[in-house]
């Protein structure tokens, strides 16, 4: 399954900060990520998680393998070594842009297998 989130700068370069939240619909294990952008550029996105009861306090699950573009339009990592990969039904994911330039629209796609 894919968990997709679109980060849109509204016609301008994406800025740093929280871009939104998604609720996880079922128990699953994260297997990888893909980032696709409207143009070549740079963006680093941290994926943070918490239980519904702990919202809005989140913590990163991405380890040192944050979804990243560096002067390219697409990138992916399908062999996560430092992520916390277990997600539970009802968990909340936060999509936080650490840094970005040039990119005006990016889709972060998280690959997961249902448990």
The pLDDT score that the predictor gives to residue 80 is 96
3 pLDDT band (50/70/90 cuts)?
Answer: very high
> Would you state the torsion angle of the CA atoms of residues 23, 109, 114, 26, taken in this order, to the nearest 10 degrees?
10
The pLDDT score that the predictor gives to residue 25 is 96
The pLDDT score that the predictor gives to residue 97 is 98
The pLDDT score that the predictor gives to residue 32 is 98
pLDDT in tens, 18-31: 999 999 999 999 99
DSSP code per residue over the chain: -EEEEEEE-TTS---SEEEEEEE--S-EEEEEEEEEEEEEEEEEEEEEEE-GGGTT--EE--TT---EEEEEEEEEESS-SSS--EE-TT-EEEEEEEEEES--EEEEEEEEEE-
What number is the average pLDDT over the span 42-52?
98
The pLDDT score that the predictor gives to residue 95 is 98
Q: Regarding the domain delimited by 2-114, which CATH topology (the fold level of the hierarchy) does it fall under?
A: Jelly Rolls (2.60.120)
The pLDDT score that the predictor gives to residue 39 is 96
pLDDT in tens, 61-114: 999 999 999 999 999 999 999 999 999 999 999 999 999 999 999 999 999 999
């Amino acid at each position: 399954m894919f968990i997709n989130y679109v980060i849109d700068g509204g016609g301008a370069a994406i800025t740093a900060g929280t871009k939104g939240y998604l609720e996880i619909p079922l128990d699953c294990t994260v297997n990888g990520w893909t980032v696709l952008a409207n143009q070549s550029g740079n963006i680093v996105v941290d994926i943070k998680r918490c239980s519904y009861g702990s919202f809005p306090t989140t913590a990163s699950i991405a380890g040192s393998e944050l979804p990243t573009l560096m002067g390219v339009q697409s990138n992916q990592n399908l062999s996560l070594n430092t992520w916390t990969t277990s997600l539970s039904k009802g968990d909340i994911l936060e999509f936080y842009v650490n840094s970005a330039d040039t990119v005006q629209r990016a889709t972060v796609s998280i690959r997961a297998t249902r448990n």
